[in-house]
Chains A and B, each alone.
Chain A
Amino acid sequence: MKRITLILLAAVAFVAPNILVFQSDVLASDARNFNAGRIIDDGIFTNSDAMSVGTIQNFLNSKVPACDTWGGKTSELGGGTRAQWLASHGYSTPVTCLRDYYENPANGQSNYGTSVPAGGISAAQIIYNYSKQFNINPQTIIVTLQKENGMVTDEWPTPKQFREAMGFGCPDNTAPGAPACDPSYGSFSAQIYQAARHFRGYIDKPAGWFVPFTTGVNSIAYSPAASCGRSNVNIENRSTVALYSYTPYRPNQAALNAQYGGGDSCSAHGNRNFYLYFTDWFGSTIMNGNFLRTVDNGSLYLISDDMKYPIPDMNIFNALYPLGGVGYVSQSYLDSKTTGQTLGRIIRSPDGTVYFYDAGIRLSFGSCALVEAYGSSCGQSALLTESQVNSLSVGPPMTNVLNTTSGKSFYMDGKKREIYDQLALNPYGVNASTANVLNETALSNTALGVPIVRDDTYIRNRTSGGLYGYSSGVLRKVDTGIQTTTYLNNLNPPSIDGAGVNLLTGGTDVSGFIRSQSGMSYILTDAGKMRLTDVDDWQKTFVLMSDGLLSQIPDVGTLSPAYFVKSKNSGTVYLLSTGEKRTIQGWMDLLAINANPTILNLSDYYINSVTEGATVLSPGGLVKTQNDATVYMVNGLNKKIPMNSFNPSTELGSTTLNIVSDGVMSKYATEADVLRPTVKCGVKQGLAVGGKAYDISLPGAQYTVLSDINCSILEWKDTPGFFLAPNGTIYQLKNSQKLPISGYQMYLNLGGTTQNTIRASNYVLDMFPTGSSL
């Protein structure tokens, strides 16, 4: 059981504090928050849309749940029961409470203690009608009813209270036998009418109304008793003017400390009670902001005295956040304000200082010329009240340069011009590093101007990410194919918004084939720019780029034909020649072309920019197609030599036969003559024997002219002295004849050595006539 009790206590401990918190939420308002200069805001005081007849009636019902019609309860004013008090003061029961009261405004006849007269309308309807007629919040009227005569909460009001309901025409006087209320206004509807009419008059101050108070400094008494003194109050709005004009006293500190209580002998309660009742019954008297709209229309305005400035977007609203949130008022209240220009970023204080504002900060302008640099003018600035201006924090003075929290810099000269870098800005004589930093949205309504850039710079388009080169006043887009796949990707130039980039004068795009001002041609690799000695290999138009831009790309050497290139994304190696790329099928083929090859890695931009040519067949190799028995030896990169025997190719050292497609084969031109073992390389001619070429002349022989590549892979030897036949016979080669040698001693005697003796096939030996034996 003890354990259960503990658990229950724990549960109570868990719940109870929260109930206490819940109760603390319904605390009443505090008179010490009373602001003598701003008792209520105009937007609230005049919001005639605040309540309907129904909600007024419901409210009146809620404040008197049960009317003491017969005065049965004890009188708060003494004298026994309420009925007894009424009788002793010349009244009778039944009484009629405000919630049940009806009156004909035309003649003042009511249902007090009797039935509803002809033309009678409810108190709620009367309040509503006059609130609409004079554009005064019905809540203002209800609260005034309560603070003047306590009628809203009264369970047993007297007829006198209805006649003097709003205290209108009832002079304040401390003298004995003071004058009572003026009977000219002696009906409930007349009281409501006059009070609402005067509130409106005090606000509008039409001709002939000499309202004793005004916005600004006023001297206000603490009490009707002159001895209580007066003090200055800086009244901030017309509604507060109206309240003081209706009840020309301010509460002293004792009255404020007493909340709803009495205070001291100099305490006046009227305006204090207005504040307390209004706050308790209808919420704050302060709009909590200067931004107003109606419930039905989303158009938002900044209210400043008698002006309303349309708010064009949420950026403006957010930038003025110290001015508070959005309040809802009647359309008539908004209509009473003169519509000013759409609110921009330039405001003016009553003392004439012009400010730029953002993020709740005001930054002063030093001259109207500087205001014009921000696309506005001193005359176009919206005039705010001193209070509104002061609610913004003080920032540093404005300059022609503005940095944004998004990392951009702008130079202002009537338009906002994005700054490339400080070097570009130097001619303007200002420094961006010390400029103010604000939200970019602060300039969202300022026209965009041409960016401030400098010659021979790369520029990144912040919007698209594209790279541009700028020189001689012309902006040229760099081909997207080389922006990220070459050294250019290492550049990290300052960015400029796309809209600004579009305002720069554009020129021809920069391709990957670049020509310098001095006439040199380049392509770009990962490491830098590669100079080309022969632009014909690419068959491309080379685009001029300034030396200033080119100098920012390092030199990585010179490229001479024939190039071997490959894509960074593929293993395929190509031979690049005369605007074509030709696939090299194997490493040996590559070595056949160049025994010490260099392969250049390029972006696909370059690889894809040239057309695909014929696959490279290994020079010196033997090829045939599937459908044709003819065998050819590949001669160079573009020709093939037909063969009528394998003997010549064998002597040239070519033994491997490859089958190739008809398409590839067709790309190679066929030489007119068949392949012979007697070959010519340039000025040299000789005989191929066992894979090498020997300086041997054969009278009357025909020669096969080999390509340079074939020649380069063919080893040339001096004329041999001796042939060693397959059968072991040794011949001396002399005068284009072969002379058999009878014995080894003779061979030695003739000078035979392994160095000047070569093995020769019968096919070769048969080419030489046989002479006499030695």
Chain B
Amino acid sequence: MKINKNNKKINKYFLWAIILAGVIILYLFIAYFTKLYPFSLEGDSKKIQDQASEKVNDVNYDKPSSEEQKAGAEAKKQSENTPSVYNPPDTSNPTQLAITSSNQQGGVLELRTTISAIDDTGKCTLNFKKTGSSTITQEVGVQNMGSYSVCKGFDISTASLSKGDWTAEITYAGSAPLATISQTVKVQ
């Protein structure tokens, strides 16, 4: 009888061992295909991770994350909060005029601007000044960019400019309130 009891105990242990072996084999099977330990190389793991994070055109077909949905909902909210009816430019609000770029390339100084209003009938005037040099004046139209406007670009030949600091004074006049800006531009 004692001997029989021991046999039962052995069988129980044997069963657990089989289950454990099954778990390990299952894990190793999964690990092999997903490159988990011990099939991942410890030293290369970061490199692989880095490469994965730099993948290009790696389309993600997962469901959107909660953060993505939340940000989307916020965009929707802002969209829905704006009136549906198109209004003309708000003349009660000051117009913001900014010089966005003043780069020299190909012998031309390009002055570019943004105007915070929607307009395509106004005018922009540039007075480009430097002590001891003649003032350069240009007048251009305004272009509607969809959500803002721009002066139609001031292009000045650098051949006619002496090196040093110049003052660019730009004035916008159109359907939105008048705006002006003055900014130093370095000619090289």
A interface vs B, CB < 8 Å? 4, 7-8, 11, 14-15, 17-18, 21-22, 25, 28, 44, 47, 50-51, 55, 58-59, 62-63, 65, 76-77, 89, 139, 146-154, 157-158, 160-161, 164, 167-175, 177-183, 185, 194, 198, 210-221, 224, 226, 230, 245-248, 259-262, 269, 273, 276-277, 280-284, 286-288, 327-328
Indicate if the CB atoms of A15 and B98 lie closer than 8 Å: no
4 additional A-B pairs beyond A169-B147, A259-B67, beta carbons within 8 Å, are: A8-B20, A151-B72, A180-B87, A212-B100
Per-position 1/0 for B16-51, Cβ under 8 A of A: 100010011001000100101100000001000100
Interface centre among B59, B71, B87, B143 (most CB of A within 10 A): B71
**How many A-B contacts if CB must be within 8 Å?**
232
Query: Is B75 part of the binding interface, using a Cβ–Cβ cutoff of 8 Å?
Result: yes
Cα distance A18–B82 when bound, in Å?
A: 49
A-B contacts, 8 of them at CB < 8 A, read: A17-B37, A158-B80, A171-B116, A180-B82, A224-B116, A246-B146, A259-B67, A282-B59
Indicate if the CB atoms of A172 and B63 lie closer than 8 Å: no
Indicate if the CB atoms of A149 and B20 lie closer than 8 Å: no
Cα distance A248–B84 when bound, in Å?
A: 23
Indicate if the CB atoms of A7 and B20 lie closer than 8 Å: yes
Query: Is B89 part of the binding interface, using a Cβ–Cβ cutoff of 8 Å?
Result: yes
* Option from A28, A177, A287 in Cβ contact (under 8 Å) with B83: A177
Query: Is B77 part of the binding interface, using a Cβ–Cβ cutoff of 8 Å?
Result: yes
Indicate if the CB atoms of A172 and B55 lie closer than 8 Å: no
Chain B stretch 103-117: residues in CB contact (< 8 A) with chain A: 103, 105, 110, 112-114, 116-117
Known: A149-B76, A219-B98. A260 touches B13 (CB 8 A): no
What residues of B have a CB within 8 angstroms of the CB of A63 in the complex? 63-64
Indicate if the CB atoms of B61 and A62 lie closer than 8 Å: yes
Query: Is B153 part of the binding interface, using a Cβ–Cβ cutoff of 8 Å?
Result: yes
Closest to A90 in B: B84
Per-position 1/0 for B49-83, Cβ under 8 A of A: 10011111111111111011111111111011011
Indicate if the CB atoms of A283 and B20 lie closer than 8 Å: no
Indicate if the CB atoms of B100 and A153 lie closer than 8 Å: no
Indicate if the CB atoms of A283 and B72 lie closer than 8 Å: no
Cα distance A161–B84 when bound, in Å?
A: 10
Query: Is B99 part of the binding interface, using a Cβ–Cβ cutoff of 8 Å?
Result: yes
* Option from A158, A173, A217 in Cβ contact (under 8 Å) with B90: A173
Cα distance A47–B59 when bound, in Å?
A: 14
Q: State how many angstroms separate the Cβ of A708 from the closest Cβ of chain B.
A: 85
Indicate if the CB atoms of A62 and B71 lie closer than 8 Å: no
Closest to B55 in A: A283
Indicate if the CB atoms of B63 and A218 lie closer than 8 Å: no
Indicate if the CB atoms of B57 and A50 lie closer than 8 Å: yes
Cα distance A261–B73 when bound, in Å?
A: 11
Indicate if the CB atoms of A4 and B76 lie closer than 8 Å: no
Indicate if the CB atoms of B72 and A154 lie closer than 8 Å: yes
Known: A8-B20, A210-B150, A212-B114. A282 touches B101 (CB 8 A): no
What residues of B have a CB within 8 angstroms of the CB of A151 in the complex? 72, 76
* Option from A181, A194, A245 in Cβ contact (under 8 Å) with B82: A181
Indicate if the CB atoms of A168 and B13 lie closer than 8 Å: no
Q: How many positions in chain B have a CB within 8 Å of any CB in the partner chain?
A: 74
Indicate if the CB atoms of B112 and A212 lie closer than 8 Å: yes
Q: State how many angstroms separate the Cβ of B187 from the closest Cβ of chain A.
A: 14
What residues of A have a CB within 8 angstroms of the CB of B126 in the complex? none
Indicate if the CB atoms of A284 and B64 lie closer than 8 Å: no
Cα distance A287–B54 when bound, in Å?
A: 8
Indicate if the CB atoms of B31 and A18 lie closer than 8 Å: yes
Known: A18-B37, A180-B87. A284 touches B53 (CB 8 A): yes
Cα distance A18–B28 when bound, in Å?
A: 11
* Option from B57, B92, B147 in Cβ contact (under 8 Å) with A170: B147
Closest to B153 in A: A210
Indicate if the CB atoms of B59 and A286 lie closer than 8 Å: no
Cα distance A282–B55 when bound, in Å?
A: 8
Closest to A209 in B: B143
What residues of A have a CB within 8 angstroms of the CB of B152 in the complex? 210
B interface vs A, CB < 8 Å? 13, 16, 20, 23-24, 27, 31, 34, 36-37, 45, 49, 52-65, 67-77, 79-80, 82-90, 92-94, 96, 98-101, 103, 105, 110, 112-114, 116-118, 143, 145-148, 150-153
* Option from A178, A217, A221 in Cβ contact (under 8 Å) with B87: A178
Indicate if the CB atoms of B72 and A152 lie closer than 8 Å: yes
* Option from A248, A277, A287 in Cβ contact (under 8 Å) with B68: A277
Interface centre among A51, A179, A216 (most CB of B within 10 A): A179
* Option from B61, B65, B88 in Cβ contact (under 8 Å) with A58: B61
Indicate if the CB atoms of A281 and B101 lie closer than 8 Å: no
* Option from B67, B80, B90 in Cβ contact (under 8 Å) with A260: B67
What residues of A have a CB within 8 angstroms of the CB of B54 in the complex? 283-284, 286, 288
Cα distance A226–B118 when bound, in Å?
A: 16
Indicate if the CB atoms of A175 and B90 lie closer than 8 Å: yes
* Option from A153, A219, A283 in Cβ contact (under 8 Å) with B99: A219
What residues of B have a CB within 8 angstroms of the CB of A328 in the complex? 56-57
Cα distance A112–B52 when bound, in Å?
A: 39
Q: State how many angstroms separate the Cβ of B119 from the closest Cβ of chain A.
A: 10
Cα distance A517–B118 when bound, in Å?
A: 98
Indicate if the CB atoms of B64 and A11 lie closer than 8 Å: no
* Option from B77, B86, B151 in Cβ contact (under 8 Å) with A77: B77
Indicate if the CB atoms of B49 and A25 lie closer than 8 Å: yes
Cα distance A221–B34 when bound, in Å?
A: 46
Cα distance A688–B136 when bound, in Å?
A: 135
Indicate if the CB atoms of A214 and B72 lie closer than 8 Å: no
Indicate if the CB atoms of B116 and A172 lie closer than 8 Å: yes
Known: A213-B100, A219-B98. A21 touches B36 (CB 8 A): yes
What residues of B have a CB within 8 angstroms of the CB of A153 in the complex? 64, 68-69, 72
Indicate if the CB atoms of B79 and A160 lie closer than 8 Å: yes
Closest to A10 in B: B20
Known: A286-B54, A288-B56. A170 touches B82 (CB 8 A): yes
Q: State how many angstroms separate the Cβ of A213 from the closest Cβ of chain B.
A: 6
What residues of A have a CB within 8 angstroms of the CB of B24 in the complex? 11, 14
* Option from B52, B58, B71 in Cβ contact (under 8 Å) with A273: B71
Closest to B75 in A: A150
What residues of A have a CB within 8 angstroms of the CB of B45 in the complex? 21
Interface centre among B54, B94, B110 (most CB of A within 10 A): B54
Indicate if the CB atoms of B90 and A160 lie closer than 8 Å: no
What residues of B have a CB within 8 angstroms of the CB of A28 in the complex? 65, 67
Cα distance A327–B52 when bound, in Å?
A: 14
Cα distance A211–B13 when bound, in Å?
A: 78
What residues of B have a CB within 8 angstroms of the CB of A211 in the complex? 112, 150
Cα distance A216–B110 when bound, in Å?
A: 12
What residues of A have a CB within 8 angstroms of the CB of B101 in the complex? 212-214, 216-219
Q: State how many angstroms separate the Cβ of B69 from the closest Cβ of chain A.
A: 5
Indicate if the CB atoms of B100 and A281 lie closer than 8 Å: no
What residues of B have a CB within 8 angstroms of the CB of A51 in the complex? 59
Cα distance A167–B86 when bound, in Å?
A: 13
Interface centre among A15, A51, A65, A226 (most CB of B within 10 A): A15
Cα distance A21–B71 when bound, in Å?
A: 28
Known: A180-B86, A288-B54. A147 touches B73 (CB 8 A): no
Known: A198-B146, A281-B59. A11 touches B86 (CB 8 A): no
Cα distance A764–B86 when bound, in Å?
A: 156
* Option from A161, A183, A282 in Cβ contact (under 8 Å) with B57: A282
What residues of B have a CB within 8 angstroms of the CB of A282 in the complex? 57-60
Indicate if the CB atoms of B75 and A168 lie closer than 8 Å: no
